[in-house]
A and B are shown apart, each in its own frame.
Chain A
Amino acid sequence: MNRNLILGAGLSSLVLLAAFLSFVWTPFDHAVLNIPAKLQPPNGTHLLGTDHFGRDLLSMIMVGARTSLAVALVAVGIGMGVGVPLGLSAAAAKGSWLDELIMRGNDLIFAFPSLVIAILITAVFGAGAVNAIIAIGIFNIPVFARISRGAALSLWEREFILAARVAGKTRARISAEHILPNIANLLIVQGTIQFSLGILAEAGLSYVGLGAQPPVPSWGRMLADAQTMVSFAPHLALVPGCAIILTVLGLNLLGDGLRDWLDPKLRVARA
């Protein structure tokens, strides 16, 4: 076990725990406004203080974690679910028109700054969590397509794949039965990193008002709301800001740790 893995897993599970806990319990109801109690700094009753409507920040952060994780998770799911089959097909049909079509299509998506397209999508279909998920998801597709194609290409040269081909298995079956399990490590590591990028992207979209709409709490919007109050209520910005930093840090450490842990070469070296 390495330190990165432990620290990363610790931070990530903390966020996960907070998100799941929020389904059954939060210190206060995150949706109830209590304006006389607004802008309290962290204290005994409100551990992280209250916002400009007197809502409990800890409760909002917990429910906001739910929004962030859900958006990022589904977005990574879309990216993997579409990107990996595309990448595997491209690798299996290396050099053919299909390979070209898939990879140039990926280049096309990559060529656009993701936030610009996300804004376009939400402008056309309306702001909201679902459209944010779709926008972020689309930009995960080429990442996974490239990774899986690259890794699969080198596997296609290996003897055990040749053996499978000699045994008469179709390319599709080989991709599913032999290639995919062998690139799974890579995908898990990349998935963790994309997950953290997804959380950042969700925060960015909500910050400009295109993510989850009020009253659903979202870390990015909490930051945006805090902007004009930073000078007299810094906790309003620090709390969601730190939540984003710690989550992204945790997931990145987790990804790093997982890579070290899952990498067969390093595993041999450790043994």
Chain B
Amino acid sequence: MSLKSFVFTASSVLALTAGAAVAKDSITIAMQLEPPHLDPTSAAAQAIDSVVYVNIFEGLTRFMGDGSIAPLLAKSWEISDDGTVYTFSLQEGVAFHDGSAMDAEDVKFSLDRARAEDSTNAQKALFAGISSVDVVDPMTVKVTLAEPNGSFLFNLAWGDAVIVAPESIEDIKTAPVGTGAFKLADWVQGDRIEMARNADYWGEAPVLASATFKFISDPTAAFAAMMAEDVDAFDNFPAPENLPQFEADPRFQVLVGSTEGETILSTNNKQPPFDDAKVRQALAHAIDRQAIIDGAMFGYGTPIGTHFAPHNPAYVDLTGGSAYDPDKARALLAEAGLADGFETTLHLPPPSYARRGGEIIAAQLAEVGIKAEITNVEWAQWLETVFRGKTFGLTIVSHTEPMDIGIYARPDYYFQYDNPAFQDLMATLNATTDPEARTALMQDAQKTIAGDYVNGYLFQLAKLGVAKAGVLGLWENAPTAAIDLGAISWAE
């Protein structure tokens, strides 16, 4: 042990000396999940976006770290007066990693591919309003929408809307070819992905020459890797209980931010007795959010009362409508004819917010007479039985897509909320471009689902970044799943 620590000290002295001469230009960032493949346009897996978004693939617009939308491959755009025609001027001199030029044909190909009948895009709804994509000239694209869509530029910023090339689409899953500042250098499956700077990048050259994404799924191993300084940063640290130790250690910085993850007790609205709004209301009053945040997340997280991110300006705090009140919950159950309680199932996927939160919720539900039988499931099994099979009573999951209240307008979505009034509301929202009117509509939408007690709304998932003290430019919040390598540098 002493020999080991000697070697460690010796090597860090060496590193310090080297660092004085040249600023470090490589970084190793750990993530919990490994992407199944590297095509952001054909899967919902967050890990894909974390690795490739903005680094390898770029879209017409992009999210910035603060959640705002900025132009990327589209240099500028004009919107027709009726809000249905978007004319994008593309950046000049942009090349894909294979050397071919990025032009209007590639944009048309990417958007048409995403919205095609047989498209496997995980967020097809983003493109549903497009009626045609036309090439005006090599540097200009005209997108025509069926109806005005106030969030169209926002939609184009998603990882699912990145621009890909028809020449390299075949092998995109293993050999992604984009226009970004980094190229895929190596992928050691089960261990790491390495990236190297794209020397021919069209924009400002990144500070980092290379980057490694390392996949560490086990929270204990994550803690050990960070403490041993094997990795320079952890994108979203899986064990909130360890953060105070990092905070107390001058070698590290802790970045506590917000994600777009509304963590909810998803309820199968079609399964009796949850088809009765009174029962769902009882559920909502049986849950003590603060206890869940303290117990499962060690205090990290913001209580929510509806399916909306608290950092969004249009957010309404509706937590009061479903305050912790076990007596009221029991009374509501009695009104619904379930004075003796009932039994249901609670499926818990692997993250600790679900596993620990589930134990707490099961205990809280037991207080009012609801017996929730816990079943711990892996993600594959969760997708199979809960998300696709819809054979569940309750489950806990964090919905990490930004601005995803629209899922409540999909009656076939796994929690099966079917309210035509809400669906109309969403349709109106999509057709509205006036910011104030949109805010009002979004607030109506939040109130509608909170009033219907569709799901148990728990808390906004925190982003718990841990990094070595010298790392600069990491995103504190996660407006979308992304690790923006271009913004990262080391302190001198």
Which residues of A pack against B, CB within 8 Å?
31-33, 35-36, 38, 52-54, 126-127, 209, 213-215, 227-229, 231-232
Binary contact readout B282-299 vs A (1 if CB under 8 angstroms, 0 otherwise):
000000000100110000
B359 interface hit (Cβ, 8 Å): yes
Q: Least Cβ distance of B372 to chain A in Å? A: 10
Q: Least Cβ distance of B330 to chain A in Å? A: 17
Whether the Cβ atoms of B242 and A228 lie closer than 8 Å is: yes
Q: Which residues on the A side are within 8 Å of B373 (C-beta)?
A: 213
List the one stretch of B21-29, B110-118, B154-162, B360-368 in contact with chain A: B360-368
Q: Which residues on the A side are within 8 Å of B241 (C-beta)?
A: 52, 228-229, 232
Q: Which residues on the A side are within 8 Å of B364 (C-beta)?
A: 33
Whether the Cβ atoms of B242 and A231 lie closer than 8 Å is: yes
Whether the Cβ atoms of B363 and A52 lie closer than 8 Å is: no
Bound-state Cα–Cα, A54 to B374, Å: 20
B447 interface hit (Cβ, 8 Å): no
Bound-state Cα–Cα, A228 to B243, Å: 11
Q: Which residues on the A side are within 8 Å of B295 (C-beta)?
A: 33, 35, 38, 52-54
- Besides A32-B363, A35-B291, A214-B359, 14 more A-B contacts (Cβ < 8 Å) are A31-B363, A53-B295, A53-B360, A127-B375, A127-B376, A213-B376, A214-B358, A214-B362, A215-B359, A227-B219, A228-B219, A228-B220, A228-B223, A228-B239
Q: Which residues on the B side are within 8 Å of A32 (C-beta)?
A: 363
Please provide the 8 A-B residue pairs with the shortest distance between their CB atoms, ordered closest to farther.
A228-B239, A35-B295, A35-B291, A228-B219, A33-B363, A227-B220, A35-B294, A214-B359
Bound-state Cα–Cα, A215 to B241, Å: 21
Q: Which residues on the A side are within 8 Å of B242 (C-beta)?
A: 228, 231
Given A53-B295, A53-B359, A228-B220; A215-B374 close (CB under 8 Å): yes
Which one of B219, B239, B241, B373 has the greatest number of beta carbons of chain A within 10 Å?
B241
Binary contact readout B392-434 vs A (1 if CB under 8 angstroms, 0 otherwise):
0000000000000000000000000000000000000000000
Q: Least Cβ distance of B313 to chain A in Å? A: 32
Whether the Cβ atoms of B374 and A214 lie closer than 8 Å is: yes
Interface majority SS (helix, strand, loop, mixed), chain B: helix
Bound-state Cα–Cα, A213 to B219, Å: 20
Bound-state Cα–Cα, A54 to B295, Å: 9
Interface residue count on the B side (C-beta < 8 Å): 23
Whether the Cβ atoms of B359 and A213 lie closer than 8 Å is: no
Bound-state Cα–Cα, A52 to B291, Å: 12
B37 interface hit (Cβ, 8 Å): no
B245 interface hit (Cβ, 8 Å): yes
Q: Least Cβ distance of A121 to chain B in Å? A: 16
Q: Which residues on the B side are within 8 Å of A35 (C-beta)?
A: 291, 294-295, 360
- B 238-296 contacts with A by CB, 8 A: 239, 241-242, 244-245, 291, 294-295
Q: Which of B239, B294, B375 contacts A213 (CB 8 A)?
A: B375
Whether the Cβ atoms of B360 and A213 lie closer than 8 Å is: no
B173 interface hit (Cβ, 8 Å): no
B328 interface hit (Cβ, 8 Å): no
Q: Least Cβ distance of A235 to chain B in Å? A: 14
Whether the Cβ atoms of B291 and A33 lie closer than 8 Å is: yes
B356 interface hit (Cβ, 8 Å): yes
Bound-state Cα–Cα, A35 to B110, Å: 50
